[in-house]
A = this chain, B = another copy of it.
Amino acid sequence: MGFGSLKWAVTSRPDGNTPKLQPLGEFGRIRRFFAPLATSSGALGLTDDAAILDLAPGQQFVVTTDALVEGIHFLSNDPPALIARKALRTNLSDLAAKAARPVGYLLTLSLPRSRDDAWVEAFATGLGRDQAEYSVTLLGGDSVSTDGPVTISITAWGVVEQGKAVLRRTARAGDLIFVSGTIGDAALGLLAATWRLEGLAPADSAWLADRYRLPQPRTDLGVALGPLVRAMMDISDGLVADLGHLAETSGVDAVLESARLPLSAAAAAVIADHPELFTSCLAGGDDYELLFTADPANVEAIEALGRQLRVPVTAVGRIVARLQDASQVRVIDADGQTVEIAETGWRHS
């Protein structure tokens, strides 16, 4: 099939010049923008069919994959460096939620021909910046042309000590429910980024839009929380929906106290003007914060960890025994009254 698909296996020349290969453009992009990101010997300089990975004795790999599509997960005119970092970070967030330390990733980039070298260069620059920040390295990839939207598929892996990965399915009645950071910024940030939030201070608007465009995977916190928590996941579909996933796979119910929801100053300012958007904070997606449950005996240790790593951790509810066939997430307000959340598929009594 000729060069429709350009597997990231480029030939290298000692003089560093471009070899006489067709098409120069695509090979050139890989050599110039992506090969420098492949810093581990196992990546073979992106010149082979595959990468080679080692695992230290007593460790396990944790592997995840996450894809972003233009127009769904990011905006067409988002800066390419931010798109790249978001694509990588959504995967790092999954690893953090398993208490795994990230190691490397593979990238498949489906790109319309309209995206030029400058776009790809900026995209790769974003990856390089986050590689340094999170100590991960590119291990290979594939590059394909498409008539459709930009689609970025990343497979990332990390390591944990044998048996120490934290799963979703292990929450127990009696656990407290915690979240990291602040919740709802990304949902409001998407509104801010698309000019659908009127009257918001420009600084708040920009800060919220950044929270939408650039998740903050809680890598250090996730790894450190490992021994202290019972079940963990990251919040991507929205707090209520994801708490539902966690409850369902654990066979429990959950009670979420809406008054305890940690809001950023910017989000609080929005909610003050638009109280109806509070539901978006509870149900909106893209937070990429950690959602975890723990024995109440560990509250102090968990809060101390949050202070030490400068990431707020907030208890927002509790796990209870399951009452019906399907798990329920009940949202209650400060008076203990059930709040109806219309925006999520979960049904509340």
Contacts and interface: CB of A to CB of B under 8 A. Distances in A.
A72 interface: yes
Given A64-B50, A153-B67, A237 B13 contact: no
Interface in A38-87: 44, 47-55, 57, 60-69, 71-73
Interface stretch (A120-128, A161-169, A295-303, A304-312): A161-169
Q: For chain A, give the interface size range.
A: 35 or more
Contact of A108 (B17, B23, B67, B326): B67
A337 interface: no
A55 B52 contact: no
A275 interface: no
The count of identical subunits is 2
Interface in A89-137: 94-95, 97-98, 100, 106-108, 110
Interface in A144-167: 144-149, 151, 153, 155, 157, 160, 162, 165, 167
Mostly, the A contact residues are: loop
Contact of A60 (B19, B47, B54): B54
Contacts of A11: 244-245, 248-249, 327
A251 interface: yes
Given A12-B249, A345-B20, A5 B67 contact: yes
Nearest to A3: B237
A139 B52 contact: no
A146 B106 contact: no
A245 to B, nearest CB: 5
Contacts of A236: 1, 5, 7
Given A2-B285, A69-B110, A98 B50 contact: yes
Nearest to A162: B54
A94 B241 CA distance: 39
A21 interface: yes
Contact of A21 (B10, B94, B155, B345): B345
B4 A72 contact: yes
Contacts of A175: none
Contacts of A107: 65
Interface string A307-336: 000000000000000000111000000000
A140 B64 contact: yes
A234 interface: yes
6 contacts: A2-B285, A20-B345, A48-B169, A49-B98, A65-B140, A147-B149
Interface of A: 1-5, 7, 9-15, 17, 19-23, 44, 47-55, 57, 60-69, 71-73, 94-95, 97-98, 100, 106-108, 110, 139-142, 144-149, 151, 153, 155, 157, 160, 162, 165, 167-169, 190, 233-234, 236-238, 241, 244-245, 248-249, 251, 284-286, 325-327, 344-347
